[in-house]
Amino acid sequence: MLKNGAAGGGEGVDAGAAEEVETGAETLTKVPKDAHTERPPRGRVDRNVDSLPPGSRVILIGDLHGNLIETEQLFANLRSTLGNTGLRRSKIVFLGDYVDRGPDSRGVIDFLVGLRAARAVEDGTGGTYFIAGNHDLGMATFIGVPCCDEASVSAEALEATRNVAYKKGFFVHPVEGGMHYQGRRWGGSTVYNCHTCFSSYGAGDADYTAESRERLVKAVPDAHKEFLQGLDLCHDAPIPFGPGRLICVHAGLSPDVPAEEQLERLRARDILSPSIQHPDDASRIPALHSRGAVIPMHHDLVGKAIVVSGHHGTMDVNRGDRIIMDLSGGTPSENRPLACMVLSATERFVVGHAESYVWPKSGPTPSGFGHGGAGVSAEAQAQRGGLLAG
């Protein structure tokens, strides 16, 4: 299995249970305003970065959700903004959720597979990394290619992720080799909007029958199965600017488990580890599924890492080293485009698929939460200087 060098639908709860629900461009989780907004310096391209070693600039791309046209336009705008050399030498990290909601999940994965292949043969690229979102984990497990090392899981262990209290809202049919509950949730309810994914593969209706699964399994190309199965659950690597470490995880890290314990299991793609499962529900992986609790910076990582997520249906870039990049929530528009953040020692700005979208700009922050500098203190930022100071 060729790995992408990469972190992975709705909440894994019963249809009648109380839990956050996937809502497109909005989230039901409300986070209180507990800090003033600090706007970073106005963004600009620093051409000097192009002459630094590859990977000195990082591009963090939010949820794509089956929106191929906007994905292609986003890359066209990145190329126009950074130039061919600047884009090639940048490190690109995709934050997950490539499928569902939009009309062309197949087209988006085709685009990503092609991009990975093209950059792999280019000289001097900064690397291309793909982490799994909860939607990707759901699809992958539904079609039998879970984002994990296959030798480490058994059919019994996968099936045991379903809470026996759940009686409806999931795919009920037996599956050879077993299925993680998130796959059963993805292909057996409306929570993930998987019908658009079925349609893009020409697999007919997602009608929750055993036959519908067989159609989708047959329709998904081997290259797409390889891509999904190879997704990592996080990206954790050094960066050549402060604070020196970049962690990308689709939703965030649980505050109730030590950060390094979670990251070790996420890097191992151990989807059955108690360290990354919800303590009350083995079907849920907070790093991929949770809402409010995983939004703040994990206390173990304050001043030690930049932590970036998508998932939350908003853009929140005013928490110091904690960044949320999912402005469109899967339903892109001119004002809420598919978007990415560009970071280096001297750059901090956002590029969207809509050419009219510019950030930073004068006026209110586009953050959906309104926090400022919550990830690292102003004093720490000032001492470190560079990227996040000011």
Q: Dump pLDDT digits (tens) for 77-122.
A: 999 999 999 999 999 999 999 999 999 999 999 999 999 999 999 9
Q: Binning pLDDT at 50, 70 and 90, where does residue 165 land?
A: confident
Residue 305 resides in a domain: yes
> What is the total residue count of the chain?
390
Q: How far is CA 366 from CA 185, 232, 321, 357, in A?
A: 32, 29, 17, 11
Least confident segment among 31-35, 41-45, 194-198, 288-292: 31-35
20, pLDDT greater than 80:
no
368, pLDDT greater than 50:
no
Percentage with pLDDT > 70 across the chain: 81
Summarised one tens digit per residue, pLDDT across range 186-227 is: 999 999 999 999 999 999 999 999 999 999 999 999 999 999
Question: Mean per-residue pLDDT for 12-25?
Answer: 34
Residue 139 resides in a domain: yes
More confident residue, 33 or 357: 357
Helix, strand or coil for residue 190? Answer: coil
| Range(s) of the domain holding residue 75 | 57-359
35, pLDDT greater than 60:
no
Residue 234 resides in a domain: yes
More confident residue, 1 or 107: 107
pLDDT at 166: 87
pLDDT at 356: 81
pLDDT at 37: 30
Residue 311 resides in a domain: yes
Peptide bond into 332 cis (omega under 30): no
pLDDT at 133: 98
H helices present in 249-388, as ranges: 259-267, 286-289, 378-384
Q: Binning pLDDT at 50, 70 and 90, where does residue 305 land?
A: very high
Helix, strand or coil for residue 207? Answer: coil
Residue 4 resides in a domain: no
Task: Name the burial class of residue 226, with classes exposed (0-12), middle (13-18) and buried (19+) by CB atoms within 10 angstroms of its CB.
Answer: middle
Residue 251 resides in a domain: yes
Which amino acid is it at 174? P
Give the CATH number for residue 160.
Answer: 3.60.21.10
Q: Binning pLDDT at 50, 70 and 90, where does residue 383 land?
A: very low
Q: Binning pLDDT at 50, 70 and 90, where does residue 55 land?
A: very high
Q: Binning pLDDT at 50, 70 and 90, where does residue 1 land?
A: very low
Question: Mean per-residue pLDDT for 167-181?
Answer: 94
Q: What is the pTM of this model?
A: 0.84
Q: Binning pLDDT at 50, 70 and 90, where does residue 2 land?
A: very low
Among 145, 321, 264, 292, smallest CA distance to 216 is for: 145
Residue 389 resides in a domain: no
Q: Binning pLDDT at 50, 70 and 90, where does residue 39 land?
A: very low
7, pLDDT greater than 70:
no
pLDDT at 43: 60
pLDDT at 150: 66
Tally the domains of the chain.
1
Neighbours of 174 (CB within 10 A): 10
Residue 137 resides in a domain: yes
pLDDT at 153: 83
365, pLDDT greater than 80:
no
147 neighbors 267 (Cβ within 8 angstroms)? no
pLDDT at 15: 31
